[in-house]
Amino acid sequence: MLRPFFIFALMVSPILPNNDFKQDQLKYSRVRNAYKLKESTIKVLFQQKGIDYNSFEIFLRAFKKEKKLQLFAKSKKNEKFKLLKTYNFCMLSGKLGPKRKQGDLQVPEGFYHIDRFNPASSYHLSLGVNYPNKSDRISGNRNNLGGDIFIHGNCVSIGCIPITDDKIKELYVIAVEAKSKGQAKIPVHIFPAKMDVLPENKPELKPFWKNLKRGYDYFEKNKKLPKVTVDAGGKYIFGS
């Protein structure tokens, strides 16, 4: 039987660094090479932005129309994120609108997180996005949702976000460092476009995009991430 003090200690213990994860990643030559080529530049970037490289968290935000992937970071002791860097999509498949089934070539839209690291990817290095999420499973083609959506290297896409081999080296190292320093989930928010003004050419998607905009607006106002849940109808709910 667990004693009360031990239970309390488990409840209040912070998320601890995961050094085993980093060491496992460094078993792969592509990861070792990425560290060799990019880590010194990354450290300078963090120093310039005033972010503690020894204790930080990151957040990714993508805009399909603009073909931009933004990387935000913050020291763990701080509440607000800062824009660290912006990467260009090398290419984009599909069109504006969510992914609803396998083979539609769509890049998903919604609120996700990185759920896997692939150090031996067919596209150099890759970070897996947890599509389909709960909202997708409710709103999409439930029997044929597809999957395997990644942020990766190279310059090809059938629903993924490619940023070239050179840029994925840098982003992959930063993501490995964030996870190894204790970040359990790296959020990834994907929007059809910058949401200051909703796209007008698809009225059937306006309710969905208005829902996404609430999450976009929360971060724009606060530079903090909203707590995201999904209701029974597949709609995103945002809290502080």
Active site positions, annotated: 152, 160
**CA torsion angle for 152, 158, 161, 167 (degrees, to 10)?**
40
SS3 96: coil
The amino acid occupying position 40 is S
Residues 240/226, Cβ–Cβ less than 8 Å: yes
Q: Which residue has the tokens 């996870």?
A: 179
> 214 to each of 197, 221, 236, how far by Cα in Å?
12, 11, 9
Residue 207 neighbours by CB under 8 Å, 6+ apart:
none
Could you give the CA distance from residue 240 to residue 224 in angstroms, rounded to a whole number?
9
Q: Which strands sit side by side in the sheet containing 124-129, from one edge to the other?
A: 82-88, 68-75, 56-63, 187-191, 110-121, 124-129, 149-152, 161-162
Query: To 5 degrees, how large is the angle CA 222–CA 232–CA 226?
Result: 10
Cis peptide before 203 (omega within 30 of 0): no
